[in-house]
Amino acid sequence: MSVDLSQFIPSFLEESFEGLELMESSLLDLEQGDDETINSIFRAAHSIKGGAGTFGFNSVTEFTHLVETLLDEMRDGRRKIAQDDVELLLDSVDCMRLLIESIRDEIECDTSKIIETSALLEKTLAADGVEVSEAITINSSDTVESKTDDTSTWQISFIPEHHLVQTGNDPLLLFNALADLGEVTLVACAKKLPALNELDAEEIHLSWNITLQSSANEDEIKEVFEWVEDECELIITKEALSNGDLSIAELLTEPPSLEESDPILSTATSKIDNPAKPTEKSTEKSSSKAKNDLGSIRVGVDKVDSLINLVGELVITQSMLSELGNDFDLSKVERLNSGLEQLLQNTKELQESVMRIRMLPISFAFNRFPRLVHDLSKKTGKDIELILKGEQTELDKTVMEQIGDPLVHLVRNAVDHGIESAEVRLANGKPKKGTIMLDAYHQGGSIIIEIKDDGGGIDREAVFNKALEKGLVDENTVLTDAQTFDLLFEPGFSTAKEVSDISGRGVGMDVVKKNIQSLGGRIQVISEPGKGSTFRVNLPLTLAILDGQLVQVGTETYIIPLITIVESLQPQKELINRVSGDMVLYRLREDNVPVIPIYQLFNIPSEFDNIEKSLLVVVEADGQKIGLMVDDLLAQQQVVIKSLNDNYQQVDGISGATILGDGSVAMILDVPGIITMALAQAQLNQKNRSTIKPKITQSISEGVNS
């Protein structure tokens, strides 16, 4: 029976990456005498090795065998847990990840680090007199064997459970692995095979008696079956038996005579000579399928049960409405309205349940940072403690996947620029050990992620002087703290006195802001000299659904994300001012808010071309407020976001579109994009008039700061 193993490769890859994360986090927390932790690390490595062996990924199997050997010595107490060994195991985890990623992406990985780490593992094991395999060859199908001069005969009884193949295991692969150890003779027992009409193609009803001529020892033979040891009965005995005697395996399975067997399914004897060994090349087709896999989400049974219940409610409501449709008359209007309300409620609950399925704990994104901070601490010579909070705060899977890289930039920046050296900290009366905290929590319809450090804070004057040097501001410009710190995200901006391979090149912070904005979020910087800094990232919970305010402009309906709205108001004439030509400012308490007429921005005819007759929706993004001039405010509602890139093309000032209840299409306004457009237009107007120097934020900041 042949089973297509390629269908199980995505699961193997996913579980392997989870196992690597467990190994990494556990190694960072490993302490002397921590038996449970070292056992969990060993089990993770053991599972990865077994899975790789099943699919024929020999480079993973061979490398992980060395890792497993070192871990086995630690858990058995033969080796004390030393920091050098922990560092070596962390490097080994990196190598295992490289190998598995190369399988996932169907690429050749850089073997230099893997070969170097393999040599270190072998040297470490050999230093204590432990026999290790010969140096492994990456991407080779040769297995790791310990050779002796003696060749023995082994009798093996292998009785698999019926469901063995359903877990992705194939006996043929096990037999091929045995053939790597020596000459194999198989005897299949079909006594328990059911009648043909009762045969289940996804179950195994055969068992095997195996004779192995090999110099391998019993542990090496058991290792072949380790991945299925809980799903079979396995008996291994040494020495060839005399003629006429039955092996223990034969006594247990009692092979039937040919007369008792179906002629077609009679007991067969086969000899495996130089079998085709499963290698990475033999799984090329399988890897291709794994590569094209779009990922998966593990969903709790409670969430699935909730969906099933809601679908049941929908079916009941649909049946009720269908019945009302038969011979409908006015006397059924009240029941019809009730049914429609119930349908609306069911649909809303179904929508929320489906969205909850996509929500994952942010710990999936946070798990990479203990290792990152550990490595950066070693590189910089700083003693840093990482604190994680809010790890169970849930976030949409798509958002989480895209926020990972920006968070890495911010954490690296905190280590390199935020935390001072031990000498400086002690001189300033601080503890020698610095602290970086990652915190996540919900706030309204958003998630807030904070990266805090207790370092020296940001030098506001240094930031301003650097901006002055680059021509971003002039010496008369007055900026708030928020506006000053926002300059850190300008392309190529850096106040670092020395360039390191960690940060300081002025590359990355502008990309951080751009990536966060692409997710519909924003970033804010808070810093106090001598106390530390906080980078606060505000993100929507999901990219699929948006809470929006519908507004009318001429004959068009637009949607403004509620997360950006500060307030809506009817403008008062005495608070309206015109500066810099066409720029209109509205005095909102302590702020002068620039006014952007939407009808002008998108060239739409509107009868409300006077700010005094229109409505003003004050929005905020990137620390700047603007007023969007609209004709009327409509309803607030959740809308499903449709990408313009997928269906048309990118439009400045528009982040997406949605379909309203009446079937019409409404555009979703991109508030940060509109602010950028307004800045560009203000600069152009100033340049054309040649009355004011074209500095960034000159027009809008003039109003904001006055």
Indicate whether 345 pLDDT > 90: no
Strand pairing report for 665-669 and 654-659: antiparallel
Q: What is the mean pLDDT of residues 622-635?
A: 86
| 355 vs 274, higher pLDDT | 355
Give the pLDDT confidence score for residue 133 in this predicted structure.
40
Those residues whose C-beta lies under 8 Å from the C-beta of residue 544, and which sit 6 or more positions away, are: 355, 358, 396, 398, 640, 641
CB atoms within 10 A of CB 336: 15
pLDDT for 622: 63
pLDDT at 249 over 50: no
372-540 and 545-705 have identical folds: no
Asked if 658 and 642 touch (Cβ cutoff 8 Å), the reply is yes
Q: What is the DSSP letter of 215?
A: S
Task: Specify the pLDDT at position 294.
Answer: 47
Q: Is the pLDDT confidence value at 291 over 50? A: no
Average pLDDT over the chain, rounded to whole? 78
Strands 269-272 and 182-189: antiparallel
- Has residue 312 got a pLDDT over 50? yes
Note the pLDDT of residue 573.
Answer: 86
Rounded distance between C-alpha atoms, residue 665 and residue 648, angstroms:
13
Phi, psi of 519 (to 5 degrees): -90, 5
The CATH code that applies to domain 5-126 is: 1.20.120.160
* CA separation for the pair 629, 626 (Å, rounded): 10
Lowest mean pLDDT among 4-8, 418-422, 546-550, 597-601: 4-8
Q: How many CB atoms lie within 10 A of CB 38?
A: 21
> How many whole angstroms separate alpha carbon 428 and alpha carbon 306?
56
Average pLDDT for 373-396: 90
Residue 605's pLDDT is what?
86
State the catalytic residues.
46, 68, 413
Domain boundaries, the chain: 5-126, 152-278, 301-360, 372-540, 545-705
Confidence of residue 303 (pLDDT cuts 50, 70, 90): confident
Q: Which two tokens stand for residue 451?
A: 């990266």
pTM of the full structure: 0.60
CATH of segment(s) 372-540: 3.30.565.10
* Residue 602 predicted with pLDDT over 50: yes
- Residue 456: both structure tokens together: 């020296």
SS3 content of the chain, % helix, strand, coil (to 5): 45, 20, 30
Who contacts 605 (Cβ-Cβ below 8 Å, separation ≥6)? 554, 555, 599
Provide the 10 A C-beta neighbour count for residue 522. 21
- Which has more confidence, 255 or 170? 170
DSSP state of 190: -
Q: Considering the domain 152-278, what is its CATH architecture?
A: 2-Layer Sandwich (3.30)
428 versus 187: the higher-pLDDT residue is 428
Is pLDDT above 60 for 241?
Answer: no
CA distance 283 to 289: 10
Question: How many Å apart are CA 131 and CA 689, to the nearest integer?
Answer: 83
- Residues 250 and 66: beta-carbon distance below 8 Å: no
Contacts for 233-239: CB closer than 8 Å, 24+ residues apart: 233/157, 233/158, 233/159, 234/156, 234/157, 234/158, 234/159, 235/156, 235/157, 236/154, 236/155, 236/156, 237/154, 237/155, 237/156, 238/152, 238/153, 238/154, 238/155, 239/152, 239/153
User: Inter-axis angle of helices 397-413 and 509-518, to 10 degrees?
Assistant: 160
Share of residues in the chain with pLDDT > 70 (%): 80
CATH for the 545-705 domain, from 3.40.190.10, 3.60.15.10, 2.40.50.180, 3.10.105.10: 2.40.50.180
pLDDT given at position 426: 92
Sequence-separated (6 or more) residues with CB below 8 Å from residue 661:
none
State the pLDDT at residue 301: 82
CA pair distance 645, 667, nearest whole angstrom: 13
For residue 154, the model assigns a pLDDT of 87
Question: What integer is the mean pLDDT of 490-495?
Answer: 74
Distance CA(178)–CA(214), nearest Å, equals 9
For position 698, what pLDDT does the model report? 42
Cβ–Cβ < 8 Å for 233, 159 = yes
